[in-house]
Amino acid sequence: MNFKLRQYLGEATTVALRFTLACSRMVGVAGLLCQLCTPVRADDPPQCGWREVWAGADVSSHNWLLYSGATIAPNSDMFSDGLRLRAATGYGQYRYSGVRGGALQSFTAQTFFTDALVGYLKRLGPLTAKAFVGVSAIRHDISPIDPDNPVQGVEYGPKAVAELWLNMGSNAWSSLDLNWTSAYETYAGRVRTGYRVFEDVSIGLETLVNGNELDKDARWGAFVRYAWETGEISLAGGIAGHFFDDANAETEPYATINWLMQY
């Protein structure tokens, strides 16, 4: 491992530790406020969790990303209407190539992001809607320096997130996740439609698009999701490619895993 990579990982680790500490303090303060403001009786039934944490990984032939985050509901449980506070972070690497000076040049990159968001959850019958606004910081380090790449260095900007979940009868469901930030004009969207083949197991199809000022791509795949009372784990895989710019662009497989827990 070269010195630059060690230095970058050290900086990313420091930021991640500060982020984790800040989240812990935020959860602890919110928990204290909830205990002070909520009367407790011996005959009260068990309450749903008001904290949610998640972690995951995304990998394809030219990139990988590790991410984690936390959401808290300071004045309700995770399934009830109310305020939400969210923080997330991630680190990954990718590579790409392009013609520079008349020759094909390969580049490698490291990326790091962190988000701080505030939002609200609202239930409307079979539909659950969540909306967040906040700030995002994204860093891209390119090696060697690419003079034609506008996505380099650190950029900050506002961020907006929308998440919808629709129950379609007792067994079918669909979800839509959208997010955008002005930092490098980064965006992502995902649609999933699933069917519960067993009480806790769903299978289905997904479509994703994501991009920034430099690039954009799309994905089509399938997933399996196992959910229990306080969490879930899902696995997905399929085909990814740069279909927007070149119909003949090469495709590649991708895979994701995501774990979520409420308590």
Q: Check whether 178 has a pLDDT greater than 60.
A: yes
Query: In b/e form, how buried is each residue of 96-121, taking b as 16+ CB within 10 angstroms?
Result: beeeeeeeeeebebbbbbbbbbebeb
Q: Which residues contact 76 (CB under 8 A, 6 or more apart)?
A: 50, 82, 83
pLDDT band for position 250 (50/70/90)? confident
Out of 38-42, 78-82, 100-104, 145-149, which region has the weakest mean confidence (pLDDT)? 38-42
pLDDT band for position 21 (50/70/90)? very low
pLDDT band for position 175 (50/70/90)? very high
Report how far apart, in Å, the C-alpha atoms of 180 and of each of 15, 120, 146, 163, 206 are: 22, 17, 25, 12, 19
Predicted local confidence at residue 226, as pLDDT: 98
**CATH code for position 160:** 2.40.160.40
* Cβ contact 107:96 at 8 Å: yes
Predicted local confidence at residue 47, as pLDDT: 58
Q: Check whether 23 has a pLDDT greater than 50.
A: no
> What is the count of structural domains for the chain?
1
What 3-state DSSP class applies to 216? strand
Report how far apart, in Å, the C-alpha atoms of 34 and of each of 38, 48, 49, 94, 130 are: 6, 13, 12, 42, 21
pLDDT band for position 243 (50/70/90)? low
Region 88-94 average pLDDT: 97
Residue type (1 letter), 70: A
Query: Which range marks the domain in which residue 10 is found?
Result: 3-262
Q: Per the confidence metrics, is the pTM higher than 0.75?
A: yes
Q: What is the C-alpha to C-alpha distance for residues 14 and 7, in angstroms, rounded to an integer?
A: 11
